Structures are given as structure tokens and as C-alpha cells.
Chains A and B, each alone.
Chain A
Amino acid sequence: MDHNKKKAYLVNTIAVVVLYLVFFVLIQTKTMNNYFVGIAIMTCIMIIMAMSLNIVAGFLGEMALGHAGFMAIGAYASASFSMALIDSGLPLPHLVILILAMIVGGIVAGVFGFLIGTPTLRLRGDYLGIVTIGFSEIIRIFFINFGPTGGAAGLKGITRLVNFHNVYWVTIVIAFLIFTLGRSKQGRAIISIREDEIASEAAGIPTTRYKVLAFSLAAFFAGVGGALYAHYQSFLEPSKFGFMFSIEMFVIVVLGGLGSLTGSIISAIVLTVLPEMLRSFAEYRLLVYSLVLIIMMIFRPQGIFGRSEFSLTAFIESLIQRKNIKNSIGGGEAS
């Protein structure tokens, strides 16, 4: 690890901790009421969903419109697991139960990602899009009719284990993991498939394996997101995981920039907070929301960040540089 990398790690760690402290103070002093904390938690969950979708849509470059399906699997699997665990009466701390539930939700969703990805990833582009829509609809309809998880009436009585503090750190960890994935040899292999599948194969990359890997990983993190959602809402209904929810996630990723994780984060924040802020406009808010999307796609079709990442270190350095230039100009006038 060279000097610059160490500096980048330090700067980002400080930023993450400072941001946490700001929220911590706001929540402790009740400046942020429960309503706003709720929005913050949902924002974190949407960030996880958008980043995980970015593995398929951004890194792999495939259209996946069934992300809500994987989220539903993760949510139901983890909720069933945690309810059984709590019923069994084991004296486990809540945080441990949540972590186990997230792992279970992630793995179950990841396995489904693998099972669905293996046959369908022969398809490309819009064909794959349609298959994934079909899959997520099957999941939704399955849960509507599946008695043990409450059917259409929904699954009640999930212990609420998620608060802002743990969801924030989980989001940070997942952001870190997906970011490092994109910069590892596996990530490069996945990105090379997006760039040119034939060339990727000719460069010695087992493309089918990496496509399935990307799909399963995206499903895994979606499952973790679903687990957080289940243990925050403490109530699950199948209708939430409909087609529109998948589209919403896809819109977040496209708006942030396909392949840009920081873009996904910012866009998830904007698109989760904006509809809430527009609540006073009642029904017009959907109009504003849609307008924002249309304007965005006309003037910046590659998304907020395109494929590049926002770098805090580079940003700070450019600020310092600008100040130095200003100082040197100012100094010149004075002398």
C-alpha cells in the first residue's frame, strides 16, 4: 500500500466517522425526529440496493429489472430465520441476530441469483431484462400465495432490530466491499465483459463464470438489503416488491451513472429524500420526480458521474490547490 492510498483511506475513514457523528448528535439531541431517522434508514437501504444492482447493471453492463425479487427473497428468508431464532429462546444479543439474519438473507438470495443467472445469462440486453422481470413477478406471486409467510396479508411480528446506527455501518461496509470488488481482478474481469465480451473471452477470461458471479453477488447484497428492510419495517407484504420497485432501483443506478458507486449513493439519497420532501405537493410529487428524470436524461444521459467515481481526496486536493493559487495571486498584489 503506497503513501497516496494510505492517505485516501485515512481521509475517507475520517469522512465516514465525521458523518456518523453528525447524525449521532442530531439523533441524540432529537433535532432529527423519528420521521427523518426513518427516511435516513430507508436511504441507507436504498443505497445498498442501488450499489448491488450496479454490480450487474454497471460493472457487468446487463439490464437486470428484477432486483426487488432478490430483495424479497432476502427479506422473507432473514425474517423467517430471525423469528425462529428468537422463538427458540437463545439469549443472543440483537446485533448478533441481525448479522446472522443478514447473512442468511444474503446467502439465500445469492443462491437464487446463481440458480437464475446460470441459465438466463446466455441472453443479453432487453431479453435478459424481460426474463428478470418475469422472475421477480414469480417471486412476488409466490409470496402472495405462500401461507407460512403470511401470504397476501403479509408477514407480521418481525422483531425490529435495525436502527440508524447499525444500518449506517452496514452500508459503509457494503460500500467498501463493492468498491474493492470493482478494483480487484474479479471486478476487472466483470468490467471487461461489459466492454467487449468477445475480446474478454479471447483474453482468457471465463466470461460465463464471471457473469454468474456478478449476478450472484448482486443478489447476495440485495438479500442483505432485504434483510435490513425486513428488520426495519417489522412487517413484510409481497406487494411492496413489485415491478415498480425494481424499476425505481434501476432508475437510481442509471441516474447516478452506470458503473459509478458514488453516483449510485448520491442518486439513492436524492431519489429517496426528494419524494419525501415533495410530500406536501401530494400527487404532484410524482410529476416533479418524473420531470427530474426526463431533464436529467436529456442533459446528462450518462448519469451524474458517468462511469467515474467521486474521490474525496482528489476533491480536497483540488480545493487546497485553488486556495494556494488564490493566495499566490493575492500575495503578488500585496508585494
Chain B
Amino acid sequence: MTVLSAKNITMQFGGLTAVDQFNLELSANELVGLIGPNGAGKTTIFNMLTGVYVPTVGEIVLNDQSIIKKTPHEIVKLGASRTFQNIRLFKDLTAVENVKIAYHNFIDYNMIQGMFRTKKFWDEEKKAQEECMKLLDIFDMGEYADTLAKNLPYGQQRKLEIARALASDPKVLMLDEPAAGMNPNETAELMETIHFIRNKFDITVLLIEHDMKLVMGICERIIVVDYGKTIAEGTPDEIKNNPDVIRAYLGD
């Protein structure tokens, strides 16, 4: 079953074609890697899939609904959430508040009830607190719940961003370089975490990564892009030996 598909999406910035007729099909519960040299257009693809950019041409379908011209928050509601290459947390809020903000759509009370603190407010807030703590506990971050996001160690910040992305209950989780800046131990731990959440939440994961150990280690399928075009697609072993990929990374 296809969860997310992109057909011939192209993104032009003035005269520059950043992404050229890119195609993507993500099935349920898949773990797919998107790799390519710097400037290949990986993040641009992400930005189109999450509604930050509107593709110049092409069609993107998420859960049988077109998401072209939908705003990012509408796409989140439809079931795709993401993390960022340079961590974007709500720095001056605590870890649990960060998660609660993404849990927003599941908290059911209106502004008047919130301002006058009716029973519904207390019930819903209690539920939200419990659910968000559960999510933090999955990432072993329960102890950091009341720490300001900016004071968390780097690895924990990365994990918190993933936890926040999961709080909106997505079908597709897109991770933009989750292992950037991590040491080998943290990367190994992250690999386990990604594997675990894929199975636990039964979601599709699409990730951009430069760390080949991570990509080759956990992805079932890899898509390689260069100059905005797909140059190879296949299992990690196929990609490793693909002459086009080797040329793109190492030159002729």
C-alpha cells in the first residue's frame, strides 16, 4: 500500500533547477534512505514533501490526498511530520512542552474553556501530560521532561525533535540528517531508536543521511540523487556497487 507518492516533482528557483522530475513511492512501514552529495537537492525534496515549497510541476499524494498547495500544518494533520537538518526545537520551553505543542491537535478544549480552566481543561491537560511523558519515556528522556530544550545535550536534542515529530501521530516520518554531529556511539544508538520507532508506531520512515554506516545499516531501500535527479535506487548492496553512485560521490 502506498502511503506517500511523488510524481515528477520539479522545483525551479529562477533559472536553477534544484530538483528535476523526481519520483518517489513509499509503502507502509518502509524504511527508506535518501542520499546524495552536498547540494544534490535532498532537503529541497523534503521541503516539497512537507509543504514548505510548492513544486513548480508535479503531484504529491499522501494517504490518497493531494498535498500540493497545502500548508505545512495541514500536511502534518494529514499524517506526515519531519525533523530539521539544523535542530529546530522550542529552545526556551521544556522538553515535555516541546512535545505537547506537537500534540496540540489531540487536545480538545477551546480557548474559553482554557482561560476559565473548566474541568475539561484539567482533564485534557492531564491526558496530554501523560501521553507526552509516555512518548518521552520511549526515548528514555523521562528524566529530562522539565529541562529546557536548549540545556539538553546534543544527542538528546536530536531525540527530542524526533519525539516531537511523533507526537502528531504521523504515518510518514521524515528525518533530515538525524545523525548529523553525532559521535559513533550516539549514531549506533540512534539507528536502534529509528528501527524501534518504525516497528513500535508502525510508520514509514524516510531519512536523509550522510553517515553511510547508518544508511546502509538500517535502510531497506535507498534512493540516490545527484543534481536533482534520481541516479540509482535499490537495496543497500545494489547501491554500494552501482557505478553511477560511485561516480557521483568520487568523480570519474
Are A and B physically bound partners? yes
Are A199 and B84 closer than 8 Å at their CB atoms? yes
B16 on the interface (CB 8 Å rule)?
no
Are B121 and A204 closer than 8 Å at their CB atoms? no
Q: Which residue of B lies closest to A191 (CB)?
A: B93
| Most chain B CB neighbours (cut-off 10 Å) among A180, A196, A203, A213 | A203
A30 on the interface (CB 8 Å rule)?
no
Q: Which residue of B lies closest to A207 (CB)?
A: B73
B10 on the interface (CB 8 Å rule)?
no
Known: A177-B115, A181-B111, A185-B109. A198 touches B88 (CB 8 A): yes
Q: How far is the CA of A203 from the CA of B165 in the complex (A)?
A: 7
* SS class, residues of chain A in contact with chain B: helix
B50 on the interface (CB 8 Å rule)?
yes
Q: Which residues of B contact A204 (CB under 8 A)?
A: 73, 76-77, 81, 102, 104-105, 168
User: A-B contact count, CB below 8 Å?
Assistant: 93
B-facing mask of A193-212, CB < 8 A → 1, else 0? 00110111111111100000
Are B82 and A202 closer than 8 Å at their CB atoms? yes
The answer, among B88, B114, B115, B117, for a CB contact under 8 Å with A199, is B88
Known: A184-B111, A186-B111, A196-B89. A203 touches B76 (CB 8 A): yes
Are B72 and A202 closer than 8 Å at their CB atoms? yes
Q: Which residues of A contact B92 (CB under 8 A)?
A: 195, 307
Q: Which residues of B contact A199 (CB under 8 A)?
A: 84, 88-90
B249 on the interface (CB 8 Å rule)?
no
The answer, among B97, B101, B104, B115, for a CB contact under 8 Å with A180, is B115
Q: How large is the interface on B (under 10, 10 to 19, 20 to 34, 35 or more residues)?
A: 35 or more
Are A185 and B82 closer than 8 Å at their CB atoms? no
B240 on the interface (CB 8 Å rule)?
no
Are A195 and B90 closer than 8 Å at their CB atoms? yes
A-facing mask of B86-118, CB < 8 A → 1, else 0? 001111110001001110110101010011110
Q: Which residues of A contact B107 (CB under 8 A)?
A: 185
Q: How far is the CA of A184 from the CA of B128 in the complex (A)?
A: 11
Q: How far is the CA of A93 from the CA of B84 in the complex (A)?
A: 59
B-facing mask of A160-204, CB < 8 A → 1, else 0? 000000000000000001001100111111011001101111111
B154 on the interface (CB 8 Å rule)?
no
Are B89 and A181 closer than 8 Å at their CB atoms? no
B122 on the interface (CB 8 Å rule)?
yes
Are B115 and A202 closer than 8 Å at their CB atoms? no
Known: A189-B104, A204-B168. A195 touches B91 (CB 8 A): yes
A19 to chain B, nearest CB (A): 22
Are A202 and B93 closer than 8 Å at their CB atoms? no
* SS class, residues of chain B in contact with chain A: helix
Q: Which residue of B lies closest to A177 (CB)?
A: B115
Q: Which residue of B lies closest to A213 (CB)?
A: B111
B105 to chain A, nearest CB (A): 6
A1 on the interface (CB 8 Å rule)?
yes
Q: How far is the CA of A180 from the CA of B124 in the complex (A)?
A: 15
Are A200 and B101 closer than 8 Å at their CB atoms? yes
Are A205 and B101 closer than 8 Å at their CB atoms? yes
Q: Which residue of A lies closest to B167 (CB)?
A: A203
| Most chain B CB neighbours (cut-off 10 Å) among A181, A198, A204 | A204
Q: Which residue of B lies closest to A184 (CB)?
A: B114
Q: Which residues of A contact B77 (CB under 8 A)?
A: 204
Q: How far is the CA of A177 from the CA of B89 in the complex (A)?
A: 28
Are A188 and B88 closer than 8 Å at their CB atoms? no
Q: Which residues of B contact A189 (CB under 8 A)?
A: 101, 104
Q: How far is the CA of A287 from the CA of B163 in the complex (A)?
A: 52
A204 to chain B, nearest CB (A): 4
B158 on the interface (CB 8 Å rule)?
no
B131 to chain A, nearest CB (A): 13
Are B88 and A196 closer than 8 Å at their CB atoms? yes
Are B76 and A202 closer than 8 Å at their CB atoms? yes
Are B101 and A202 closer than 8 Å at their CB atoms? no
Q: How far is the CA of A13 from the CA of B242 in the complex (A)?
A: 72
Q: Which residues of B contact A203 (CB under 8 A)?
A: 76, 81, 101-102, 104, 164-165, 167-168
B12 on the interface (CB 8 Å rule)?
no
Q: Which residues of A contact B121 (CB under 8 A)?
A: 184
B20 to chain A, nearest CB (A): 25
Known: A188-B100, A188-B101. A180 touches B114 (CB 8 A): yes
| Most chain A CB neighbours (cut-off 10 Å) among B71, B73, B93 | B73
Known: A180-B117, A185-B114, A202-B50. A196 touches B90 (CB 8 A): yes
Query: In the complex, given contacts A202-B72, A206-B73, what are 19 additional A-B residue pairs having Cβ atoms less than 8 angstroms apart?
Result: A181-B111, A185-B125, A188-B97, A188-B104, A192-B101, A195-B90, A195-B93, A196-B90, A199-B90, A200-B101, A201-B73, A202-B50, A202-B76, A202-B88, A203-B76, A204-B73, A204-B77, A205-B73, A205-B101
17 contacts between A and B (CB under 8 A): A184-B109, A184-B115, A187-B114, A191-B90, A192-B101, A195-B90, A199-B88, A201-B73, A202-B84, A203-B76, A203-B81, A203-B102, A203-B104, A203-B164, A204-B81, A204-B168, A206-B73
Residue positions of B touching A, CB distance < 8 A: 50, 52, 71-73, 76-77, 81-82, 84, 88-93, 97, 100-102, 104-105, 107, 109, 111, 114-117, 121-122, 124-125, 128, 164-165, 167-168
